[in-house]
Amino acid sequence: MPDQQEIYKRILVEKIGSETELKYASKIAAGNHNQGIRVETNKGVFFLKLNFDHEKDVLQREAEGLEALRKSTFLKIPQIHGYGRIGDYNFLLTEFIQADRNSADYWENLGLGLAHLHLTHQEKFGLNNNNYIASIPQKNCPTQNWTEFFIEQRLDPLLGKAYFDKLITLGFFKKFQEIYPKLESIFPSEKPSLLHGDLWSGNILTTSNGQPCLIDPAIYFGHREMDIAFSRLFGGFDSRFYQAYESILPLEPGFDNRISIYNLYPLLVHLILFGTAYLPGIERTITKFIR
């Protein structure tokens, strides 16, 4: 098996050019499956994501998501230099974002930029292909009805996996499904909007001029409140973000009551990825809505 340095060199030559010389590489992020590497060359600095054991298209789908975001918002999106597979490695090579402090208008621009993204619509909920949220496959079969899409392509597949992985009991599996008949009356009517799909603070960088930059999308056309609810899951963003967003796209009344419903999906993702520490939050929401 080639060593890591040789892998980096081969990717750089393939995607940047034969005259590209690797000067220095340092790992700046590492998870269960991915590595993030800062790569310095004679042609500039790049960010390289390597993936070792996922489906072969996982980083291709991420690249496609980034390009879709670029076409639909004025927010910064890293430039893609290439993706592919070398040996057992999936890779994605992008522009390196040099982090800095937030500018004074950072949160306002993030809110306005997300609203700009959500103004991109299509006829049906879903996408023309399946993709991933983190390492979990995400179904996107185009569907006319949001509630149907949310149940059949967001909740039910992960609920089934959680049961298969012995993270929940059969009793809880059945209890969870009792919420389904109630959802149609909970969601307001909305056009399918292009979503980032994994909108939390860890997937937003700050550029060298202090502006927000979106990374690691799990895009699809969905109910726009999904992104806003996800942003509230781990403490929420600055209030200026929400004010700026609603200056363009006000939320329908009752959103605060719907947040926990939308966040059943990311909580199921975290349950599957990280274990039962995320189960109590799911249980609280189910208990609240099936009383």
Helix (H) or strand (E) holding 281: helix 279-289
Q: Which of 100, 105, 156, 198 is catalytic?
A: 198
Using DSSP bridges, classify how beta strands 131-133 and 136-138 pair: parallel, antiparallel or unpaired: antiparallel
Residue that is written with structure tokens 């592919």 in the block: 84
* Cβ(278)–Cβ(267) below 8 Å: yes
The full length of the chain comes to: 291
**Following DSSP, what letter does each residue of 91-150 receive, concatenated?**
EEEEE-----PPPTTHHHHHHHHHHHHHT-B-SSBB-SS-EEETTEEE----BS-HHHHI
Tell me which residue of 120, 147, 125 sits closest to 138, measured CA to CA.
Answer: 125
Residue that is written with structure tokens 């059969």 in the block: 170
Which residues, in sequence order, are bridge partners of residue 86?
A: 89
> Measured between alpha carbons, how far is 226 from 56 in angstroms, rounded to an integer?
28
> Measured between alpha carbons, how far is 278 from 283 in angstroms, rounded to an integer?
9
Residue 198 bears catalytic tag: yes
The first and second tokens of residue 215, run together, are 């990374």
Task: For residue 236, count other CB atoms closer than 10 A to its CB.
Answer: 14
Q: Give the HSE-up count for residue 197: Cα atoms under 13 Å, Cβ half-sphere.
A: 32
Which residues participate in catalysis according to the annotation?
198
